[in-house]
Amino acid sequence: MISLDIGCGSKKKDGCIGIDFIVNEDLDVRADLEHGLPFRTASVDRIYATHFLEHVHGIERLLGEIHRVLKDGGELHAIVPYFRLSGSYHWNHKTYWSWYATDTKTTNDILGTKYEMVWRKLIVGNSIMSSFVNRFPRLYERFFVPFIPVEELRFVWKKNSLIPSRKI
């Protein structure tokens, strides 16, 4: 099983090939991921992106590249800062992530990819609030964002070649 940790920095996930642009001890492959992934088409089983996707200028291109290198049934596991978290507005963050931003139908329509949602969760410090926020995420994003702070958004997308293509 081939697993990648893209943008791994100095905290590469165990059992993964660590890929980053910045040289460090956990690095296995040095690559500028904004220009593609140096792997064959349909050669990777799983890709981890922990606090990395928000740093990418051409996120559409990278999501397309991730789709290209994943095998059918391969998964992208991502953790991004939630867009309302004050720390998400760092000068080196290029994209901002919400519940809507991880909607696979929109992503597939725009990019022509075939991702399906496996799982997603908004991470809140309070367990009672976490239950509410994750049970009613659209209601939360519409009315309660200023009152209940969310720290992260975690999601898993799976490549599924059976989804019909519909690039707009």
Find all residues with CB under 8 Å of 61, minimum gap 6, and list them.
Answer: 34, 36
Q: Report the chain's C-alpha Rg in angstroms.
A: 16
Residue 167 pLDDT: 52
**121-126 long-range Cβ contacts below 8 angstroms, 24+ apart:** 121/153, 121/154, 121/155, 122/82, 122/150, 122/152, 122/153, 123/82, 123/150, 123/151, 123/152, 123/153, 123/154, 124/148, 124/149, 124/150, 124/151, 125/149, 125/151
d(CA 102, CA 48): 15
The pLDDT of residue 88 is 64
Give the number of other Cβ atoms within 10 Å of residue 1's Cβ. Answer: 8
Q: How many structural domains compose the chain?
A: 1
Residues 6+ apart with CB under 8 A from 159: 67, 70, 71, 72, 73, 74, 75, 113, 114, 115
| pLDDT of the residue at 149 | 87
Task: Give a yes or no: residue 45 inside a domain.
Answer: yes
In a domain, 54, yes or no: yes
For residue 164, being part of any structural domain is answered with: no
Tell me whether residue 91 is in a domain: yes
C-alpha span between 31 and 130 (Å, rounded)? 37
Average pLDDT, 10 consecutive residues per value, the chain (168 residues): 93 93 88 91 97 89 93 96 72 79 84 90 87 93 90 93 63
**CATH number, domain containing residue 65:** 3.40.50.150
Which residue range forms the structural domain that includes residue 45? 3-159
Taking a C-beta distance cutoff of 8 angstroms, is the pair 5, 17 a contact?
A: yes
166 within some domain: no
